[in-house]
Amino acid sequence: AASKLEISMPPVVEVEVGGTARIECNFYIPENASYTYIDWFYVDRSNKQVRLYHVTASGVLEDDTDYKKRLSLGEDKALSISAVTLQDPRTFVCQVGAGSYGVGENSTELSVYRRLPANPALCSRLSLPPQIARCVSKNSFPPPNITWHKNGEQLHAQDNQVTMPSTLTRESSGLYTVSSALYAPVTRQDRHSRYHCTVHYWLRGQRRALDSQPVQVNIFYPAENLKLKVMPSSTLVKEGDNVTLVCEADGNPQPVFSFFKKNLDEWQDLTSLAEPDSGILRLHDVNKTSNGTYKCQSLDLDDLSQIEKDVDLVVNYIEGVHVKMEPSSTLREGDSVMLSCDAYSPVGLKYQWRDDKGKKLVEGNQLFVKNLTFEKSNTFSCKVMAPSVPGLEQSKKVSVAVEGKPRIVAISSPLYVRQDEVINLTCKAIAFPPPTVQWSINGTAHEYVDNQHVASNLTVRVSHDLVRAGALCRVSNRLGVSEERIQLVVDQKSTAESQGVIIVAIIVAILVVAVLGAVIYFLHKKGKLPCGRAGKQDITKPEARKDKIVVEVKSDKLPEEAGLLQGANGEKRAAADQ
């Protein structure tokens, strides 16, 4: 066991700004004796102890200091300081008096910190001497220090090479702002280097670090190499393509570019066609005249040095596609013909024949067609392709003219019509040379021609003469004549329906007359009508009395139709009686 008074305290207590600091004072008195007093002090800037508390068995006395409203004592006599500020970091002393065992004391350093310093701000700027970047860390306590790194490796100061001067500023808030600049020589190889700073600070007794965002330095250097590319690849360029020439230099900033094309022994300046300040020349819809050597020239405005690079542009093309026909003389129906296709290209070609619907007929440059007719399609297409250059192809169409006298292929006969009806007569024929169409009757004609086909529509009104004679369609050209007659047939069903309507009307009229006759007969039998021979009257006279019934029946029907008028007893009567 210890034989003297011992006091133990933590050497350092760290607390965040605004928090509460608790400083413990643990002591041991031999034989479990009691303390006489406990005093708490702090050490001011003049290194003088200022008492805060005086504790005895009879009570606690708090001295009047700047800490008075923020101090408290625990039951274990630990000192607590609330609402810690940046002005509180100092030494606190605990002194214990133990009677005959004497007086002992110990101390603790109070350290105050902010949670984290603000993120370091990094800016880059080249100057002479070359300042690469400046790093600034604000609002930290205690003050941190700054280190510099290039591509992840820490830089160290070197005489006349790398320097890192820094400044420390205490703000009115008590926080610190630290600024550090990095000066170092740079070369072309440093154009891809990345620099950053690291702020090192203390937090809860541990050393921490905070990295800035990396930056790249914009380094100026002249061009050493020049590239001129053709896009797409020059081996695949075909006529009609859009080609881009791209000139690239490895200098910074980019030099001034110029473009030229070699024509015989001279260079044609194409710079006006290039995109300004870009090193790009676009060639639209190239053809075989675009073939040749192109040159890009760069000019460095700092030292006026020039670099040149050229490239050959090869444009693949097909030209002169033509078709030869054998025999070349006039062809008639039933003849045969040989079609031969040819073209020129600097690369190998492949031929293919197709019909007018795009259907492949044969591979190769020749097509043999036999038994030519009007009905079959006589239009063919020769497709020329360059297998080594995808998409390079051309086509040539050819129509084989087949001559022959006209042939009527469609006619509207027989045609069912009605009297006085307006109808359309149609006559279609095929022939070459183009024929003329004539009709044997008058009307309004409309003619339609499609290649070797001709169609004529004639609008007429149906008459008895037209029905009897019909209509003749005559088609002719210099090779012959073809004609056909359209037969017109009266629609019997429609005629019968018309006649039926007439007959029904006649029957209804006869029935009405019969009823009237029966009424007259009935009245005569009753004696209400004076129809005797002596008193016989002319019922057709206009001066007859108003109460008499006057009926006049005229009929031009046949005798058998007239005989339908009968009396009430079914006997036929004379016209006078009726």
Q: Are 299 and 255 in contact (CB under 8 A)?
A: yes
Domain boundaries, the chain: 6-113, 121-216, 226-309, 319-400, 404-490
Give the Cα separation of 451 and 60 in Å (integer).
Answer: 126
Cα 554 to Cα 493: distance, rounded to the nearest angstrom: 31
pLDDT, mean of residues 39-43: 94
Alpha carbon of 577 to those of 281, 517, 567: distances in Å? Answer: 120, 10, 10
Task: Give the residue, 574 or 34, on which the prediction is more confident.
Answer: 34
The tokens 């079914």 sit on which residue? 570
* Window from 74-88, 130-144, 496-510 with minimum mean pLDDT: 496-510
- Let me know if domain 121-216 sits in CATH 3.60.15.10: no
Residue 548 has pLDDT above 80, yes or no: no
Report residue 24's pLDDT band, with 50, 70 and 90 as the boundaries. Answer: very high
208 contacts 169 by C-beta, under 8 angstroms: no
| Domain 6-113 homologous superfamily, CATH | Immunoglobulins (2.60.40.10)
Residue 330 C-beta-side C-alpha neighbours within 13 Å: 6
**Structure confidence at residue 121 as a pLDDT band (50, 70, 90):** low
Q: Which 8-state DSSP code applies to residue 392?
A: -
Q: Which tens digit of pLDDT belongs to each residue from 374-433?
A: 777 688 999 999 999 989 999 999 988 888 889 899 998 888 899 899 999 999 999 888
Looking at residue 122, what is its pLDDT?
A: 61
Backbone angles phi, psi at 503, to 5 degrees: -60, -45
Confidence of residue 140 (pLDDT cuts 50, 70, 90): confident
With a cut of 50, say whether residue 238 has pLDDT above it: yes
State whether CATH 3.90.550.10 applies to domain 226-309. Answer: no
Specify the range with the lowest mean pLDDT, choosing from 75-89, 105-119, 260-274, 474-488: 105-119
Q: Residue 2 above 80 pLDDT?
A: no
Same fold, 6-113 and 319-400: yes
Examine the pLDDT at 539 and tell me if it is beyond 50: no
Question: Rounded to the nearest 5°, which phi and psi values hold at 272?
Answer: -65, -20
The pTM (predicted TM-score) of the whole model is 0.50
Phi, psi for 548 (deg, rounded to 5): -95, 150
Residue 422: predicted pLDDT: 93
Q: What's residue 162's pLDDT?
A: 87
- Please give the C-alpha separations between residue 405 and each of 332, 430, 432, 451, 477, in angstroms, as whole numbers: 10, 8, 7, 15, 6
Percent of the chain with pLDDT over 90: 43
Q: Which CATH architecture has domain 319-400?
A: Sandwich (2.60)
Contact 463, 423 (CB under 8 A): no
Pairwise pLDDT comparison (276 vs 94), residue with the higher score: 94
State residue 230 phi and psi, 5-degree precision: -105, 125
Pick the CATH number of 404-490 from 2.60.40.10, 3.40.50.150, 3.90.1010.10, 3.10.20.30: 2.60.40.10
DSSP string covering 99-140, please? GGG-EEEEEEEEEEE-SSPPPPEEEE---SS-EEEEEEEEEE
